[in-house]
Every structure is written in structure tokens, then in C-alpha cells.
Amino acid sequence: MANSLYRNRVIVASGEFNQVTRQWKSMVCIFWKNDTQKLHPISDLPGIFGTESEAVAFALKAGKHWIDTQPAVKDLDGTKTPNERT
């Protein structure tokens, strides 16, 4: 499991082990706070991995990609579109 702060959001990435296939699947939840606390889980990520670290790394990338593709969000320094974010 890994946590990452990215663009004012917390990404919690983890892997789920399948004991039958002995492979890992990625899962990720994204948390943020505006007027209320929000949560966006992503559990249907593609890919099967041989190690937990590979599954977690993929989940972190997927979480960042989801954040980057959202419409304008309120960042710490104001409202920015995905193209304006750095």
C-alpha cells in the first residue's frame, strides 16, 4: 500500500493478491476536500502483476491520470483547467 499527495488530493494505492492465480491486481482511492469530503474509488483497473509493488505503482499512475483528466478543480492557488496545471 502507498499514499501520495498529488494536486491537493490524497491517492491511496494498493494491490489485491489472488491466491489461486498468485497474481496481483491494482486498486486505488482518491480523496479530497472542498465544501465536503469526496472519495473516488477505482477498482476495475486493467492489468495483472507479478508483484505487489508493480500493482501499487500502476495504481498510483492511474490515480494521477484520473486527477489530471478531471474538469477544472479548485487547487490551493485557484481554479485551473487540466492544461493549466503543472
Tens of pLDDT, residues 44-69? 899 999 999 999 999 999 999 999 99
Domains contained in the chain, number: 1
pLDDT of residue 76: 45
Q: Are 31 and 12 in contact (CB under 8 A)?
A: yes
pLDDT, the chain, mean: 86
| pLDDT of 6 strictly over 70 | yes
The reply to whether 85 falls in a domain is: no
Q: Is residue 74 part of a domain?
A: yes
Residue 79: pLDDT band with limits 50, 70, 90: low
Q: What pTM did the predictor assign?
A: 0.77
| Integer-rounded Cα radius of gyration of the chain | 14
Per the CB < 8 A criterion, the answer to whether 1 and 9 are in contact is: no
Does 86 fall in a domain?
no
The whole domain housing 7 covers 2-80
Would you say residue 26 has pLDDT above 80?
Answer: yes
What CATH number should be reported for the domain holding residue 11?
Answer: 3.30.160.350
d(CA 26, CA 49): 8
